[in-house]
Amino acid sequence: MSPSRKNRRRRIRIAVRRSPRTADEFYALTDRFQERWTRVTHVISKMRADRVSLHQAAREFGLDPRVVRRLAHSALRKHPNGRYTARPADRLLRVLIALTPKGKREVAVRDSRQASLLGEYWATVRKYLATGDSSGIGRFRRKRITDANGKRIQLLTDLDELDVLGSAGVLSFESLYAGVA
């Protein structure tokens, strides 16, 4: 084996990182890797929601499909024909924003179903603040999000508090993901 090939293998091995499992591990990574990790989770979500191929979803988020396969292999299923699909649920870490009775805070979740529940909650809050339709908020009254450490977090469903936070401009809807403007 040529020396340049050995060096390449060593560089690749060093570059491969274990997926983060907690918010502390996530924030210990470089900003560049955090942003890449967030895009990888977006790719998996896109594949699951819109039933698009790995290549299409990766292209949309500016990633090489090989990077997605390397970092999110546990969330993918390879079929006999060589194509990849997203599993029905995954355990990839996502650092999201949750609205709790104590205010807005970042929550690290390790379950795609928890992330989906939080996304549905934000869509309902956005609809309530835009239209005044509170019919969907009741669905989240006793719902809790379980973070990566196993702590259960109550979602804010008090309409008066939502009105106060909404009129104060505290609730911005650029992104559900933490650290993304």
Whether residue 172 is contained in a domain is answered as no
Residues 82 and 98 in one domain: no
Whether residue 160 is contained in a domain is answered as yes
The predicted pLDDT at position 8 comes to 52
130-152, pLDDT tens digit by residue? 899 999 999 999 899 999 999 99
- pTM for this model (two decimals): 0.80
| Domain hosting residue 51, numbered range | 3-86
| Whether the Cβ atoms of residue 38 and residue 178 lie closer than 8 Å to each other | no
Instruction: Indicate the residue among 86, 102, 117 that finishes a domain.
Output: 86
Residue 35 Cα distances to 5, 23, 112, 125, 178, angstroms: 29, 14, 18, 26, 10
The predicted pLDDT at position 32 comes to 95
By three-state DSSP, how is residue 154 classified? strand
Give the whole-angstrom CA distance, residue 166 versus residue 42: 27
The predicted pLDDT at position 66 comes to 96
Give the whole-angstrom CA distance, residue 10 versus residue 118: 40
The domain total for the chain is: 2
The predicted pLDDT at position 103 comes to 78
The predicted pLDDT at position 11 comes to 47
Residues 61 and 80 in one domain: yes
Low-confidence ranges of the chain (pLDDT < 50): 11-16, 180-181
The predicted pLDDT at position 173 comes to 60
